[in-house]
Every structure is written in structure tokens, then in C-alpha cells.
Amino acid sequence: MKLMKARKKKKMNCKRFWPVIFLLFSGVPTFADSFADAIHDLAVVVACKGKYNNQEAGYPGVAKNYYVEEMMANRFAQESGENTMTGTFFGVCFNYAQFAFIDIQQYKSWYNKHGMYESQFWLAGVHDNPNQIELMSIGTKNDYSRVQNGVYIKTYDTSLRKVRTHNGATGHAWIWIERADGVWFWIDPTWTDTGGYVVYGYVKNGQEIQCRPDKKYCIVYPEYLNSLPLPPAMGSRIAPSKTANSTNRQETINDAGKDFIEVIVDKTIRDTFINVHYDSMKEYFGLMITSTVPFLAVKDKSMDFDRFGITVDLPMLYESIAALWGFDYMQNLEDENNLHAVLMEFDFARRLFNNFTWFIGGGAGLRFDTSNQNAGYGPKIMNQTGYLALKANTGFLINISNFFTRVELSYNNIFGFSAGAGIGIGLEM
């Protein structure tokens, strides 16, 4: 309780605990969003407690250490209380993230008051794949998944996030924290300390986006920071989650930084097939040819060229998302028809795994039947022989190395419900 009172006191007096920086940037206003101020403060508090050890990381020389303990001597004295000592470290990025996690954990109610959503704060780490982030928490000797950097770490079966790290970082650790409006932010206290300015941002469209820091919290301020975006304004608070009062972080992580597709995949695939895992997402650009025939033709094994379609697609697989676009030709020559159609198709796709992609979309174009002009094949849009052609489809794209296979189910107004399959080749970008 005494520590919490000290925390509240120094937090309310946060404009007075940095005389050195305020001499440099006096009169600079803070962000209107108190959450942004809180995570700036977090990055600087941890930076002041830490000093980066190049030798621990396997690098020569001495790292820059812009933020030092003396900058917050009075504040740390208030926090320490009767202990009269503040814990500091001489370590690597993991230790910066560790101290930040402990700070949020210790003063959780304060962070909630200033805009943190429930218990949504996590250690974030990346190994050698900058497109895959692992969310973790600090465990105990009786409850942990692995020992990392000499610390008990707890990971979960839904820990992985297909999000690209800030500046493509690898072999690194930092913090993720969710704002009360549902926006996820990241804070990098290591790069804050070694760079001299707060390094932070938010997560959007599978990417960690770096934001412009508040000058009040910066010792140096390179000109390029002015080109960075400001953090998104605080929106309406989202409703409490089902795990709002849970102390089980296995439950709370299921809602951490995920979209609905990832939740479905985790619960229906990842939890069912133990060996399923996310690989490094390779990026491809390719060419694919797909043939489509009616369902009845497949069932009756009566496939011919009277009713069929052919699609030429250009699949583009980028990180965790993808797109397919191309052209369709279809014909229906049965029952004295002479029906032809040309469509432009676009499919939005989501890469569930490195070599398995789900897509949904369709196309639109023109169809012509010169043998039966009055049959009423849809709205006329050109002349007596021009009509609207439509297609809707969904399916999967499977790639092995640089070869692709496409399987789809579709409906078109040329010959109805259909099935299709195709092959293609891609080039790794």
C-alpha cells in the first residue's frame, strides 16, 4: 500500500521529476491522451533503471545510455519507501521488457485508471522471423514454460501473432499493452534508452507502426521523428471482456491483439492438431489457371466442354494476407444455348499458414447469348445481346515450394453452382 501511495504521489507530480529534460524542452505540451503519457512515462522509467550491456548481447564496445538513474532520483526515493534502494540492471532488451512488465503488474490499477484495458499487457518477443511476434508473461518456478535469460517465462498455445515488428526487428523483446478503446500499443524501452527518445507505437493491419514521441520525454529529438504519425486519438471504451476479472492469463491472451480469423484458427485448428504451427511467411507473386465445371457434371462424371469455365489468376501472397485477381471465361452451350461470358474477378485472401490460404470473392462482367436473345438472362446493360455476368466463390490455395493448387466452390449465372480446381507457379518476392 505504501508503494502505491508513493506511485500516486509521484505520478501526480510527474511534471517535476525531470528537471534536466524540462530545461531542454520547457513549455512543450503533453498529449491530450493520458494513456499516451502513461506509456511514455513507462518507457522512460525503465530506461532510467537500465543500462544496455553490449557484451551480454555479443556486441563490441559500449552502448549509448541516455537515460540514467539520477534523472529520477527523487521519484525513485519515493517509490522505494523504507527500503531506500531502487533495483536497476545492466543487461539486454529482455531485461528492459521484464522491468516494464513488472512495473505494469505492480501498478496495474494506476495503468487501468489511465486507459489500459483490463489485464492486457504482455512481454513481446521475436526470434529470427520479423513477421511473427510471441506474447508472454513472467512466470514462477512452479508455473512456467521455459527459462529465458535466467527468468521463468510463461507462454501459451495461442501466444503467436502474425504481426511485423517495428523496423523489422529480430532477436528482440519489448511490451504490448491494450488501450481501453481496443487499440494495441507497443513500447520499446531498450531503444528508448539507447536512442535518447521514446520509441513506441500501435498495431494496425498486421504491422507495428512507430509514432511520433512527445518531446517532453525525449533527451534528443532527431528531425525524422517529425515525419512519424501521432498516435490514434482515444476512442470509445470497449465493453468488458468475458475474462475481465480472470487471473488466468491463458484465458486473457485469447483476446490479445487478434482478429476474428486468428481466433477461429486457434480454436478450431491449432487446438485440434498439435503439430500445426506458423512458419515464416514467404511472399509470392504467381500465375494460376483454374477450370470450373457444374456440380452435376462432377457428380454424374459427365464433364464436357459444353459447360465449363477457365480462370487466369495472379495470386499475390504478402505476409499474413493475400489477394488474387484475374479474368474468367465461361460458356454454356447446352439446350441450344450459345451463352458466353467474360468476367473480371477479385478474391480477398487470408494466409492461415505459410502454405495454406483461404480466399473469398467473386467477379462481374458481360455475357452474351445470340441464339436466345429474349430468354431474359438478367438485366440488359449494353444491347439486345449484352447481359450482366456474376460469380461468387470461396476456396483454398495451397502452395508447396513455388507450385500452387487452387480448389474452389462457386456460383455463377452461366451454369449455376460449380466446383473448380487449378494449378500455378509462383516466384518468391
pLDDT tens for each residue of 311-322: 999 988 876 678
Q: pLDDT tens digits, residue range 88-104?
A: 999 999 999 999 999 99
Residue 381 confidence (pLDDT) above 60 = no
Is residue 278 situated within a structural domain?
Answer: no
258 plus 293 within the same structural domain? no
Distance (Å) of CA 218 to CA 68, 101, 208:
13, 21, 21
| pLDDT for the residue numbered 20 | 36
Is residue 279 situated within a structural domain?
Answer: no
- Quote the CA–CA distance of 315 and 399 in Å, as a whole number: 11
85 CB-near residues (< 8 Å, 6+ apart): none
124 plus 252 within the same structural domain? yes
250 plus 396 within the same structural domain? no
263 plus 216 within the same structural domain? yes
Instruction: Decide if 67 contacts 80 (C-beta within 8 A).
Output: no
| pLDDT for the residue numbered 81 | 85
Look at residues 210, 238, 270 and tell me which one is the last residue of a structural domain.
Answer: 270
Look at residues 218, 242, 270 and tell me which one is the last residue of a structural domain.
Answer: 270
Is residue 47 situated within a structural domain?
Answer: yes
- Quote the CA–CA distance of 62 and 59 in Å, as a whole number: 9
Three-class secondary structure of residue 230 per DSSP = coil
**Got the DSSP string for 238-254?**
PPPPTTTT---HHHHGG
172 plus 206 within the same structural domain? yes
Look at residues 244, 270, 296 and tell me which one is the last residue of a structural domain.
Answer: 270
Distance (Å) of CA 306 to CA 149, 293, 391:
67, 10, 18
Where in the sequence is the domain holding 97, given as residue range(s)?
2-270
| Location of C-alpha cell 471465361 | 329
| Backbone torsions φ then ψ of 91, nearest 5 degrees | -150, -145
218 plus 310 within the same structural domain? no
Residue 267 confidence (pLDDT) above 50 = no
154 plus 177 within the same structural domain? yes
382 or 386, which is more confident? 386
| pLDDT for the residue numbered 245 | 81
266 plus 291 within the same structural domain? no
Q: pLDDT tens digits, residue range 20-58?
A: 343 333 333 345 589 999 999 999 999 999 999 999 999
| pLDDT for the residue numbered 129 | 94
The enclosing domain of 302 has a CATH number of: 2.40.160.20
Q: pLDDT tens digits, residue range 174-217?
A: 999 999 999 999 999 999 999 999 999 999 989 999 999 999 99
Residue 12 confidence (pLDDT) above 60 = no
| pLDDT for the residue numbered 280 | 46
| pLDDT for the residue numbered 335 | 72
Is residue 6 situated within a structural domain?
Answer: yes
| Location of C-alpha cell 564496445 | 61
Is residue 277 situated within a structural domain?
Answer: no
Is residue 65 situated within a structural domain?
Answer: yes
> Does an H or E element contain 100, and which?
helix 93-106
Residue 278 confidence (pLDDT) above 60 = no
108 plus 216 within the same structural domain? yes
Q: What is the pTM of this model?
A: 0.60
> What's the average model confidence in pLDDT over 317-334?
84
Q: How confident is the model at residue 2 (pLDDT cuts 50, 70, 90)?
A: very low
88 plus 222 within the same structural domain? yes
Q: pLDDT tens digits, residue range 226-261?
A: 999 999 999 889 888 888 888 888 888 877 765 444
> What's the average model confidence in pLDDT over 298-307?
67
Work out how many domains the chain is built from and give that number.
Answer: 2
296 CB-near residues (< 8 Å, 6+ apart): 302
> Does an H or E element contain 353, and which?
strand 339-353
> What are 396's strand-pairing partners?
358, 407
Q: Report the chain's terminal Cα–Cα distance, integer Å.
A: 56
- Quote the CA–CA distance of 311 and 293 in Å, as a whole number: 12
- Quote the CA–CA distance of 17 and 20 in Å, as a whole number: 9
| pLDDT for the residue numbered 231 | 93
Is residue 190 situated within a structural domain?
Answer: yes
| Amino acid code (one letter) for 90 | F
The grid coordinates of residue 411 equal 456460383
36 plus 65 within the same structural domain? yes
379 plus 344 within the same structural domain? yes
